Amino acid sequence: MKVLAISGSLRSDSTNTALLEAISRAAPESVEIRLFREMGDLPIFSPDLETPQPPDSVRRFIEAVDCADGLIISSPEYARAIPGGLKNAIDWLVSGEAVIGKPIALAHASHRGDDMLASLRAVLGTVSSRFNADIFLRRPLMAKSPGEIEAELSRPQSVEALRDFVERFSAFVESSQGEM
Ligand SMILES: Cc1cc2nc3c(=O)[nH]c(=O)nc-3n(C[C@H](O)[C@H](O)[C@H](O)COP(=O)(O)O)c2cc1C
């Protein structure tokens, strides 16, 4: 099973990216979770650019989503909303077929950010019929250093939460494949 992980933060020490990396490490061999690291290369969405030959970065992004059996997204809240880069990436998917019916789950690296989460759930529920809001992993990593993040994610409670999240999401992806 191939899963694409998308972080809504481009920050080098991003807690959301670190959470996705930890999720990837917690996955069994049968579940390959790859982080999409090129969100910052996507141009600002315009329907005028949606041609049969879109910009290379867009083509690569759409192909990555298309090839994935599921998506896991983890994002910070900016100004009580979805960060522009992540919303822009999602906008590139809206009129294509790659995301329709794609299993999607959310993770989140902060105890805050509920306005962004509500908005992102609404957006993902609009673009995919298989966005599953019940599968959700939240760890309180906000403002933590890489060392503190590692310590928090190594706690037995975190390790169990990460494994449980991966298990539930991969089972959901498998059950979705059965429906196709
Ligand atoms: C431009 C900007 C706006 C932010 N707005 C909010 C906000 O509205 N609510 C909130 O809880 N945190 C806000 N934050 C804090 C981030 O959401 C928080 O630091 C998050 O953990 C950063 O995620 P990252 O470590 O993955 O980059 C904001 C941070 C920035 C840089």
Hey, what are 81's tokens? 């909303």
pLDDT digits (tens, 9 = 90+) for 22-47: 999 999 999 999 999 999 999 999 99
**pLDDT computed for residue 178 by the predictor:** 75
Whether ligand 1 lies within 6 angstroms of the CB of 37 is answered as no
Q: What is the mean pLDDT of residues 107-111?
A: 98
Domain count, the chain: 1
Pocket test for ligand 1, best of 21, 77, 149 (most atoms within 8 A of CB): 77
- The rounded percent of the chain whose pLDDT value lies above 70 is 99
* Ligand 1 site-directed mutation target among 13, 16, 78, 148, most atoms within 8 Å of CB: 78
What region, left, alpha or beta, does residue 137 occupy, with left being phi > 0 and alpha being psi -120 to 50 degrees? beta
> Distances from the Cα of 169 to the Cαs of 63, 79, 107, 110, 172, in angstroms?
21, 29, 11, 20, 5
Q: Does position 14 have pLDDT exceeding 70, yes or no? A: yes
Residue 128, SS3?
coil
Please name the residue whose Cα sits nearest to atom 12 of ligand 1: 77
Q: How confident is the model at residue 179 (pLDDT cuts 50, 70, 90)?
A: confident
Cβ atoms of residues 16 and 10 within 8 Å: no
Helices (H), the chain: 15-26, 56-67, 84-94, 114-127, 146-154, 156-179
**Parent domain of 134:** 2-179
CATH label of the domain that carries residue 83: 3.40.50.360
> Contact, 75 vs 120, CB < 8 A?
yes
Amino acid letter at 156? P
Q: Which residues touch 164 (CB under 8 Å, ≥6 apart)?
A: none
Strand-pair partners of 3? 33, 70
Query: By alpha-carbon position, which residue is closest to atom 22 of ligand 1?
Result: 76
